[in-house]
Amino acid sequence: MMTLSEALNDARRRHVAIGHFNVADLVALKAVTEAARGLKLPVLIGASEGERGFLGVREIAAVVASLRETLDHPIFLNADHTHSLEGAIAAAEAGFDMIGFDASTNPLETNVKLTKQAVEAVKSINRSIVVEGELGNIGSGSEIHDKVPESSRFLTKAEEAKQFVEATGIDVLAPAVGNMHGLLKSMISGDVKKRLDIGRIRDVAGAAGIPLTLHGGSGTDDGDFQKAILAGMTIVHINTEIRLAWRRGLEASLAENPDEVVPYKIYNKPLDEMRKVVSSRLRLFNGV
Ligand SMILES: [Zn+2]
C-alpha cells in the first residue's frame, strides 16, 4: 500500500490532484470511499475539528484504517483545519495520515511559530505524518454565505510562501489564491463560479517547492480547477458541494417516501447524490 507522501509525489509528478472530501458521518464516508474505489484513485478524507468532535477523533481514524485495510485501497485521513497544538497531537496519536494545521488568522510571525511547533510535535509522534501549513486567508466555514467574506481577500505572496515553508518545515502548503470556503447563494445554482489566480498559484508553487492544497474548492470553475492543478495544486478540497448534495438527497428521499423509517433505505438517495459529486470531481482532478 502506498503512503500518503508517495501518493502526493506521484500526483505532483503527473500534474493531477488528490481529491479531499470532508465527512461528518458514515454515509458521506461510504460515498467518498465508493467513488474513489470505483475510479481506482487514492483519496483524502477530511475531518475538521467540528466533524471530529461529532465523529470522535479515534473513532474516525479507526474506521478509515479499517476501510483501507479491508478494501486494500489508498484512503487517507486528514485532520482538516486543526487550530491547536493539542488537536494536532490528538489526531497524530489517533493515527491520522495528515494534519492540516491552521494558524493563518494570526500575524505571520505567530503563524510561523505555531506551525513550526506543530510540525515538530507531530513528527516526533510519527515522522511519516504529512503536515500542512496555511498562509493567507480563505475565510472560514464551508457554509452558504450571503457575500464574500472580507478576510478572503488577502492573497499569499510567493516570497512569503518560500520563507514560510523554510521556517516551519511543513510538507504541504495551503495558500490563498482567490479560493474561499463555502459557497455564495449565487453559486448554488451554478451560474456564478469561483475564479482562481492561476499566475499566483504558479508563482507560489515555484517559490514553495512543495505540494500545494487548494481549500474551498466547491463551486470553482472547471477550467480553473484544471489550470490550478497544472500550475501546482496537488490536493483539492471539496466540502460544501457534498453537504449540499447530502441535504438535497435527504430532502428528496424523505419527500418521496414519507412513511419510510429504515435509516439505510432513507440514506440511499443522499448516498447516491454525494457519490455522484465525488466521482465527477475526482474525474476532473485526474483527467479520467
Ligand atoms: Zn479548508
Average confidence score pLDDT of the chain: 95
CA 269 / ligand 1 centre spacing (Å): 26
Comparing 253 with 144, the larger pLDDT belongs to 253
**pLDDT class of 138 with cuts at 50, 70, 90:** confident
Check pLDDT > 70 for residue 153: no
Q: What is the pLDDT of residue 199?
A: 97
Q: What is the pLDDT of residue 68?
A: 97
CA 71 / ligand 1 centre spacing (Å): 27
Q: What is the pLDDT of residue 151?
A: 57
Q: What is the pLDDT of residue 146?
A: 80
Q: What is the pLDDT of residue 142?
A: 79
Lowest-confidence region among 40-49, 59-68, 136-145 = 136-145
Catalytic residue among 10, 72, 80, 102: 80
CA 248 / ligand 1 centre spacing (Å): 22
CA distance 117 to 24: 28
pLDDT digits (tens, 9 = 90+) for 104-113: 999 999 999 9
CA 78 / ligand 1 centre spacing (Å): 11
Respond yes or no: is residue 80 known to be catalytic: yes
pLDDT digits (tens, 9 = 90+) for 227-243: 999 999 999 999 999 99
CA 262 / ligand 1 centre spacing (Å): 34
Check pLDDT > 90 for residue 147: no
Q: What is the pLDDT of residue 152?
A: 56
Check pLDDT > 90 for residue 62: yes
pLDDT digits (tens, 9 = 90+) for 172-214: 999 999 898 888 888 888 888 989 999 999 999 999 999 999 9
In 3D, which of 174, 53, 51, 199 has the Cα closest to residue 111? Answer: 174
